[in-house]
Amino acid sequence: MSDSRPVVTRIAPSPTGSMHIGTARTALFNYLYAKHTGGRFLLRVEDTDRERSTEAAVQVIFDGLAWLGLPFDGEPVFQASRADRHRAVVMELLEAGKAYRCWLSGDELTAAREEAQAAGHALRSPWRDRDPGPPDLEKPHAIRFRGPKNGDTIVNDLVQGQVTFRNRDLDDLVLLRSDGAPTYNLAVVVDDHDMDITHIIRGDDHLNNAARQSLLYQAMGWDVPHFAHIPLIHGEDGAKLSKRHGATAVTDFASLGYLPEAMRNYLARLGWSHGDDELFSDAEAIAWFDIADANRGASRLDWDKLNFVNAHYIRLADDTRLTALVAEVFATRGDPLDHARTAQALRAIPLVKERAKTIVELADQLTFLFRARPIVLDDKSRGQLTDETRARLARLAAQLSAANDWTAESLEALLKAFAESEGVGFGKFAPALRAILTGGAASPDLGRTLSALGRDESLARLEDALSPAA
Ligand code: GLU
């Protein structure tokens, strides 16, 4: 095909009720390639399975792409709405002698299949060469493609290289079922042609279809688009990523606390690379992305790497946005943050976000803020509160209440100077202090913990623990 046409890519998901992370990566690659070339990225909803294609299942696709930050151009195309066009193309093929009516019934089909197998080629229906006489159009029948019996079909795949298929191995596929429904391969070819798709980037489970689809393009006299089949995503055990591995849907990653920009960066690296670059912006990904650089080997979902990338984007993220995301986590736990706690979270996030690999962890690292007073200490912490430590912490409390700078750095310096003035190491009082301040919840270093709690709350917690009644 001529390469002068502007690049048009597409993602063509079937509504199944969830968006697999592999579909997300395919969408990303199509998006990046389109943007890299100044082209367009389109969405086609392959909603031909009418039972599964509920409004909610279609919405999952829109929501998934929106969450991932992969906006498609123009209006989405709904495949089911195009069935008449698909049927019209089948009629054209029929009239051109490139398709034929086939009345094979179940038993005959099995026999024909066995016969073909014995002869060492894929299924050809006996109706292919039979003079049907006046066709009995009332009797249910399928319409099959009259594929070439000999020769090869070559797919020049941008990722897999040149892949040769023997035509004898490609059966005369059904284009229109006996109930009048167009089949997948036919609908995809007609839609991709009509949508001016120039590059089809998709999972390599469709590589065999590329051969069949190429034959259909040729039969119609249409340009065959460029194909790029990318290896599927595998789990850490090397098997194809499935529900067995836990998280597979885009929404799973969202609720585990991964940021969309981290997913974009990580998924781009999953099956494509630009030197050794692990962290890059969207603009860099667009500038660098070429589908020809996609890897041919299967890629494995590596949680450590994903966490590393996510932690990077959490550190970069705006604190107000992180606060809203953390609030969602608390809300799904049935413990929504009120106005005051939201303000506390916002103040504390800069102090704890450096250690969080996910938004869920970030939420966990904020729970110490929200412990209800008086905090009940566990036996171990109570055991640490000897008379000596109580007296020492009382002296510390006095210094803290006099401190005029409540930043983490200055509090850390105060603690250090205090330990020196007491002639003891941190170990002599820090564990008890931490328990008093947090009740054992995860927390950052003590300077940050105090700073995040604020002066009043910190001193109140100390007072609760040190008062004679405690
Ligand atoms: N609906 C197909 C799928 O989800 C699309 C295949 C294609 O991209 O051609 O696998």
Residue 206 alpha carbon to ligand 1 centre in Å: 8
User: Which residue's CA is the closest to the ligand 1 atom numbered 6?
Assistant: 12
The type of residue at 126 is P
Whether the link from the prior residue into 225 is cis, omega within 30° of 0, is: no
Instruction: Kindly list the domain boundaries of the chain, sorted by start residue.
Output: 1-75+231-316, 83-185, 318-370, 379-466
- Which member of 243, 353, 416, 428 is catalytic? 243
Q: Which CATH fold topology does 1-75+231-316 show?
A: Rossmann fold (3.40.50)
DSSP assignment string, 415-464: HHHHHHHHT--GGGTHHHHHHHHHTT-----HHHHHHHH-HHHHHHHHHH
Ligand 1 pocket check for 325: Cβ under 6 Å: no
Each residue's pLDDT expressed in tens, for the chain with a length of 470 residues: 456 789 999 999 999 999 999 999 999 999 999 999 999 999 999 999 989 999 999 999 999 999 999 999 999 999 999 999 999 999 999 999 999 999 998 899 999 999 999 999 999 999 998 876 777 888 899 999 999 999 999 999 999 999 999 999 999 999 999 999 999 999 999 999 999 999 999 999 999 999 999 999 999 999 999 999 999 999 988 888 888 888 899 999 999 999 999 999 999 999 999 999 999 999 999 999 999 999 998 899 999 999 999 999 999 999 999 999 999 999 999 999 999 999 999 999 999 999 999 999 999 999 999 999 999 999 999 999 999 999 999 999 999 999 999 999 999 999 999 999 999 999 999 999 999 999 999 999 999 999 999 999 999 999 999 987 65
pTM for the model: 0.93
Ligand 1 pocket check for 206: Cβ under 6 Å: yes
Given ligand 1 and candidates 31, 46, 204, which is best to mutate, with the most ligand atoms within 8 Å of its CB? Answer: 46
State how far the Cα of 13 lies from the Cα of 11, in Å rounded to an integer: 6
Q: Which atom of ligand 1 is nearest to the CA of 11?
A: 8
Q: Which CATH fold topology does 83-185 show?
A: Glutamyl-tRNA Synthetase; domain 3 (3.90.800)
Residue 45 alpha carbon to ligand 1 centre in Å: 9
State how far the Cα of 321 lies from the Cα of 327, in Å rounded to an integer: 10
Return the closest-CA partner of residue 181 out of 45, 87, 77, 53.
Answer: 87
User: Which residue's CA is the closest to the ligand 1 atom numbered 10?
Assistant: 13
- Read off φ and ψ for residue 142, nearest 5 degrees: -100, 165
Residues 6+ apart with CB under 8 A from 447: 408, 409, 410, 411, 412, 413, 415
State how far the Cα of 423 lies from the Cα of 425, in Å rounded to an integer: 7
Q: Which atom of ligand 1 is nearest to the CA of 26?
A: 8
Ligand 1 pocket check for 202: Cβ under 6 Å: yes
Tokens of residue 127, six digits: 């109706």
The yes-or-no answer on residue 243 being catalytic is yes
Residue 313 alpha carbon to ligand 1 centre in Å: 31
Ligand 1 pocket check for 188: Cβ under 6 Å: yes
Ligand 1 pocket check for 12: Cβ under 6 Å: yes
Task: Domain 379-466: give its CATH architecture.
Answer: Orthogonal Bundle (1.10)
Given ligand 1 and candidates 78, 192, 195, 206, which is best to mutate, with the most ligand atoms within 8 Å of its CB? Answer: 206
